[in-house]
Amino acid sequence: MLTKKTVKPMSNRDTDPCELLLIIFSVFIALLVIAIVSNIQFVAILYNYRDFAGWASAFGTLVLAFIAVFQDRIHAYIKRPILNCNIELKPPDCHKTTMRRTQPFLPGEETSNVIYDISTYYIRFRILNSGASSAEKVEVIITDIFKKNKNDTFVRINSFSSDNLVWSILDESNKRKMYWEYISPSTYKYCNLGHILDPKYRNICNGENNTNFIKDDTIFSFDVYFRSNILYYLVSPGTYRIKLKVGCTNAKTISKEYELNVTGKWFEDELKMLNEGISIKEIH
């Protein structure tokens, strides 16, 4: 049995309410101290509310003091990365390609291995950075999968375990990537949601066949980093709701929800497959 690798979770950049209160209190104290040091006559100004010059001077001093104390935070906020996740069910985001597999010969049959080039459709997200600085150590996590039942309600697939989706490009060692080192401003990288391969070749592809599913139906294989022996990343034809989180070490984590419909039909024609074999739309 394989053991799941422990990984460091994505950084959560959402501001905690307690942290926010502490920041506000710190701002107040800092401005108060600067105001006293600068000999601003707050009491006199309050009593003489028509002293517009005094009010303007006090306000200007406070603004300058605020900028001086928090310029690093202000600069970091303005220059922050901003992540987003989009998908279009057409090339190049989603496309037909070839998966090559080698089937060893059996004793008494062939004298050499048989190589299969298997038609496969990959469904990919664009992970975008619309901010002003690079997003670092970016990851995409699929947190939940729900399947639509006969009562038109979505029920969570309890066997599914939250996991990272892998990026579309392998690393230098030809291994799948859990993190993308950085995404520059105004650019994007592709992350795999999953793939569908020609069902008649499922039985020769390791980790791609669940014998409980109908043999000739297409199934959807989520491209999770950890491919469990219980094959929870494989789903049969049906309608699903999937929840994602996209995050990195220096930007706010975003949440997305999509509805995926796997019809079970296979088409060699790319346009027809991406219209009649599968569909996906953003819910939230």
Domain spans of the chain, in order of start? 17-78, 83-282
Task: Render pLDDT for 139-171 as a digit per residue (tens, 0 to 9).
Answer: 999 999 999 999 999 999 999 999 999 999 988
Task: Render pLDDT for 55-112 as a digit per residue (tens, 0 to 9).
Answer: 566 666 666 666 666 656 665 667 789 999 999 999 999 999 998 877 665 555 555 5
Per the model's pLDDT, the better-predicted residue between 267 and 24 turns out to be 267
pTM for the whole structure: 0.76
Which residues, in sequence order, are CB contacts of 39 under 8 Å at separation 6+?
A: none
Q: Is the pLDDT of residue 5 over 50?
A: no
